[in-house]
Structure 1
C-alpha cells in the first residue's frame, strides 16, 4: 500500500515508538493524526513532521474522549485509512504487591483503549472495504515473566483480540497486524521500572526504538500478520508454545530479570 495521502491515526504518539513511527510515516507521504493525552508533547512531535498532520488530545482510557476525538478526525478528513493502536504502559510489580486497581487501570488502557479506538474506525473501514489496523502488543503477550502479571495479561488480550478480529474483517479487505517487541530503549521503563533494576539486567538485549518503528511502518505498508522482535524472541516464543514445561524450566533464570 502506498502511504501517500493516507490518513493514519497513531495513538500514544507523544513519545517513544509512536512518535518515531509517526515521523517515518510522514516522510513517506502519509497524513498523520497524532493522538495522546498531552497536547504540549504532541506539538513538539508535530514540529518535526514533514507532511500534513493534526493533533488530537485523546485519552484511550475514556469512552467519551475517544468518541469525541474520532468525531473530530472524521469531521476533518472523512476517513481513517490506518489505525495504529500504540498507546499503553506497564508496571513491573510482584502479583501480591500489585493493587487491584492497577490491574484494572492497565487493562483499561492497554486493552480496552485498543478496543475503543478500533470500534471508532471499523464501521467506516467496513463500508470502504479497506483499511489497516496495527496493534502494538509485546513478546510478553506470548511469554510471561515474574513481576509482570498485569502487563502480560493485557498483551495476551491484545494478541487474542487481534487474532479473532483478523478473521472477522478479512472479507472486507481490512488487515489486522500485531507488532510483538521485546525490551525497547524508550521512556516506557521510567514508569515500568523506575529503579532501573530490569533495564540494567537486560541492557545488552534492549532494542533501539528505530528498529521497532521501522517494523511498524512495514506493517502499515504491507498488512503483514505479525512481526516478532528480535527474531530470537520469536523463536523462543514458538519453543515455549510447543514445549511449555521444558521451556519454563530452561528459561526461568534467564527471563526473570525484573
Structure 2
C-alpha cells in the first residue's frame, strides 16, 4: 500500500511536545503515526495512530519502522522527539546511569535514523527532525549529562546532514527553550548525590521549576517542527520559543566571558 498523503512518524508522542507535534502534523495534512513505550491507554487525537516503541531496543525500532512501511509504503518525515531529562551534578551520576540517558537521547535517535534512512534514500526524499534543546548550544549547570546528550545530537545531526543531502534527505534540528511540560518531574536523578552539591542543586531546582511553569506551550514547538517538515528550503537549526531565540542571539553576540556571567547569574551561582 502507498500513502496518498505524506507519512510522518513521531517518537515520544504520548504527551507534551510529541503529542502536540502529532496533532499539528495531522492538521497540516500528514498521515501521522505516534509512538510511546506503552500506548494502550492513550486517547489518540483524531487522525493519529499509535504504536509501542522502545528506542533503546534495536528489535523494537526495526519492528515499528517495518510496520509503518508495510501499512503505508513510505516514511517521509521522522521526528525524533523521544527523550528523557537528567538533573544533578555530573559528579553525582554513575557511568551506568549516564549510559542509560545516552541510550535514550542519543543512541535512540541514531537507531531510529538508521532504520528509516534506507527507505528515505530509496524514495529519494525525506526529512529527519531531531528535537534538540536550548541545552544543545548553551551550558546548563546541574544538567551536564542531559546537556551533553543534546550537544551530541547537534553534532550528529549536522554531520549526517552533509552525508545524506545528496540522496534527497535532510537532517534538521529544532531547539526548544523552556516548555511547560512535566519534563523535570520525569527526569532521571543522579544516583550518587554528594552533600557539597546539595545547596546548588536545590537552587537549580527552584530556577528550573520557575522557568518551566512560565515556559511556552508545546504547540509552539510543534509549529516549528511542522515548518521544518514542510518548508521548501528549511534551515538546519531553528529555535522554538522566545527564550531560545533570545539566548541564541546573546550567545552569538556576547563575548564568552560576559556570556559566562549571564549563565551564572541566571542559575543564581556565585560570581
Deviating more after overlay: 28-37 vs 108-117 = 28-37
Residue 216 (structure 2) aligns with: 207
Describe how 1:158-169 pairs up with structure 2 within 5 A. 158-169=153-164
Q: Does 1:131 align with 2:126?
A: yes
Q: Does 1:39 align with 2:50?
A: no
Residue 29 (structure 1) aligns with: 29
Residue 12 (structure 2) aligns with: 12
Distance 1:72 1:251 in 2: 45
Specify which of 113, 116, 129 is matched with residue 118 of structure 1: 113
Superposition deviation, residue 202 in structure 1: 2.1
Distance 1:198 1:63 in 2: 37
Superposition deviation, residue 249 in structure 1: 2.8
Q: Secondary structure at the match of 2:173?
A: strand
Specify which of 80, 85, 88 is matched with residue 85 of structure 1: 80
Distance 2:188 2:169 in 1: 36
Q: Does 1:179 align with 2:168?
A: no
Distance 1:204 1:8 in 2: 30
Q: Secondary structure at the match of 1:207?
A: coil
Q: Secondary structure at the match of 1:61?
A: coil
Specify which of 232, 236, 255 is matched with residue 250 of structure 2: 236
Q: Secondary structure at the match of 2:66?
A: helix
C-alpha contact 1:138 1:155 (8 A) present in aligned 2: yes
Q: Secondary structure at the match of 1:22?
A: helix
Q: Does 1:216 align with 2:225?
A: yes
Residue 237 (structure 2) aligns with: 226
Specify which of 30, 36, 58 is matched with residue 53 of structure 2: 58
Q: Secondary structure at the match of 1:144?
A: coil
Q: Please report the TM-score for the alignment, with normalisation by the length of structure 2.
A: 0.85
Q: Check 1:27–1:94 CA distance in 2 against 1; reply closer, same or farther (3 A cut).
A: same
Distance 2:142 2:5 in 1: 43
Residue 249 (structure 1) aligns with: 261
Distance 2:74 2:54 in 1: 20
C-alpha contact 2:9 2:32 (8 A) present in aligned 1: yes
* Higher fraction of helix: 1
Distance 1:79 1:56 in 2: 16
Q: Check 1:164–1:12 CA distance in 2 against 1; reply closer, same or farther (3 A cut).
A: same
Residue 197 (structure 2) aligns with: none
Ranges in structure 2 where 5+ consecutive residues have no aligned partner:
190-201
Deviation >3 Å, runs of 4+: 193-196, 198-201
Superposition deviation, residue 76 in structure 1: 1.2
Q: Secondary structure at the match of 1:176?
A: strand
Q: Secondary structure at the match of 1:189?
A: coil
How many residues matched?
Answer: 248
Superposition deviation, residue 239 in structure 1: 3.6
Superposition deviation, residue 93 in structure 1: 0.5
RMSD of aligned Cα (Å): 2.2
Distance 1:178 1:29 in 2: 21
Q: Please report the TM-score for the alignment, with normalisation by the length of structure 1.
A: 0.89
C-alpha contact 2:84 2:105 (8 A) present in aligned 1: yes
Ranges in structure 1 where 5+ consecutive residues have no aligned partner:
none
